[in-house]
Amino acid sequence: MDEPGEIGRRVQRMRVERGLTQKQLAHPSYTSAYVSTLESGKVRPSETALRFLAGRLGTSYEELATGRPAHLATELRLALTDAQRTLATGAAEEAAVRYRGLLAEAEELGLVPEQAQARLGLGECALESGELPAAIRHFEEAERLLADEPLPRRARPLRGRAVAHLLAGELRYACYLLESAIDELGASGLADPDALVLLHAAVIGPYMDMGAHARAAHSAELALALAPQVSDPALVAGMHRQVARTFLAEGRMADADVSLAKAQAIYSHLQLSTDLAHCHWMRGYVLAQNGELGSAERELRTARDMLSARRAGLYTAQVEVELADVLRRLGRHEEAAGLLAALLELGNSHGAVHAGGAHRLLGLMAEERGETESAEEHYVQALALLERSGATGDLADLCRLLGDLLRRAGRVEAAMDAYRTGLGHRAAPGTTTLGPAPPAGFRPARVSGSRWDADPAE
């Protein structure tokens, strides 16, 4: 709302333009003296008074309070919805251009909710294109703009920020953000079903990657129970997609496939191409876990082609880790190695968990060729990437692989160090790399006594 003087001058101008006296404008709820005081800027009108006067003047409360015609905000909101559709069905770059223009308009008009919506859209665009630091900045700014709003209104940018940290390999921080929001919703009594399903579905991924399968299953159970109260079909589909991971961890392949089929049907109906690609990705994963490698390859290639067409570089590279593992298991090592080479360029700040998975696969292929030294180097690099991420299942798997490699090379003490480092971790189907689940039982201690006793930051 503008300052009283500006509002008063606006009321006076509109009253004169409409040929009304102060008494006519005030009747029947207020006095002409009140209107006179308001027009002189000596009183700040209440929202109730402004809404009454707006009705008498034939304008909107927003235009009277701020000087902005109501249709501008409506047109901006419609344009933001259109940009969201562009992001869902077209390229992220095109959507980002539209969102940036709309953000500038919203800032010029001083429309805070619309600024937050534009920032949220820009964050989603940056996520899809793999620009994780930019995504985090946009989501943080959206949260700042909505700081005075109740938590359910802030759930989407908060979830977006958590996903960006997850993709950057910061699993524990992603869990912290999501768990804190869920706890705050419970403590405040704001049991908003949409917000709770959004947050519980989002926390399943980091829980699974950290090996916290019981927590993931609990969040999945809560999300499924709340799903009938959720009005957004895309949100329900996303929940089914994440719940499938918990079914995989429990060996319930048929249930996982049913959840993915539900998600895929919704995404197809809504024409949400990125989300649909994620379903193909996950179904390929399910098929690979079930040993159906030919079908898994087809699903994963479909996912990769769809994401590549949208120039979603980070997600495309992550699918290629899963595809490379399938190709390796089919004996097509050269093709698998070619896919993994590009992924390694992502490094620690963009997709550390999947870059670690790429090194793991290259290590396995080096072992199969009898190149022990090369295999050890890849396993060590994978450990350096994953130690900071907290990807428990993958760390346990790597410690087992490295220990076995060192033991076969006759380096028994170093092998024992590797096994002890893996002790306390648990790996099972549903982590971020494919292949059979390693034996249960492994928390990392500090590894010493071998050439892989290097600080990951070095």
Alpha-carbon distances of 305 from 287, 315, 437, 453, rounded to whole Å = 18, 11, 28, 40
Say whether pLDDT at 320 is over 70: yes
- Between 370 and 386, name the one with better pLDDT: 370
Mean local confidence (pLDDT), 99-111: 90
Say whether pLDDT at 444 is over 60: no
Say whether pLDDT at 456 is over 90: no
| Confidence at residue 162, expressed as pLDDT on a 0 to 100 scale | 95
| pLDDT category of residue 364 using cuts at 50, 70 and 90 | very high
| pLDDT category of residue 345 using cuts at 50, 70 and 90 | low
Say whether pLDDT at 434 is over 50: no
Mean local confidence (pLDDT), 440-457: 30
Are 420 and 443 in contact by the 8 Å Cβ rule? The answer is no
Are 95 and 86 in contact by the 8 Å Cβ rule? The answer is yes
Mean local confidence (pLDDT), 109-126: 92
| Confidence at residue 257, expressed as pLDDT on a 0 to 100 scale | 87
Alpha-carbon distances of 3 from 45, 46, 111, 222, rounded to whole Å = 10, 12, 16, 47
Say whether pLDDT at 424 is over 80: no
| Confidence at residue 254, expressed as pLDDT on a 0 to 100 scale | 87
Instruction: Mean pLDDT check: name the lowest of 48-52, 390-394, 436-440.
Output: 436-440
| Confidence at residue 93, expressed as pLDDT on a 0 to 100 scale | 86
Predicted model pTM? 0.72
Q: Which of 85, 87, 89, 12 is nearest to 53 (CA)?
A: 12
Q: pLDDT by residue (tens digit) across 225-275?
A: 999 999 899 999 999 999 998 998 888 888 888 899 999 899 888 888 888
* φ and ψ of 404, to 5 deg: -60, -40
CA distance 156 to 152: 8
Mean local confidence (pLDDT), 376-404: 82
CA distance 120 to 145: 11
Task: Calculate the average pLDDT of the chain.
Answer: 84
| Confidence at residue 347, expressed as pLDDT on a 0 to 100 scale | 55
- Between 212 and 293, name the one with better pLDDT: 293
| Confidence at residue 343, expressed as pLDDT on a 0 to 100 scale | 73
| Confidence at residue 190, expressed as pLDDT on a 0 to 100 scale | 67
- Between 68 and 36, name the one with better pLDDT: 36
- Between 427 and 207, name the one with better pLDDT: 207
- Between 416 and 130, name the one with better pLDDT: 416
- Counting beta carbons within 10 angstroms of the beta carbon of residue 177, is it exposed (0 to 12), middle (13 to 18) or buried (19 or more)? buried
| Confidence at residue 385, expressed as pLDDT on a 0 to 100 scale | 81
Write out the DSSP string of 314-330: HHHHHHHHHHHHHHHHT
| pLDDT category of residue 1 using cuts at 50, 70 and 90 | low
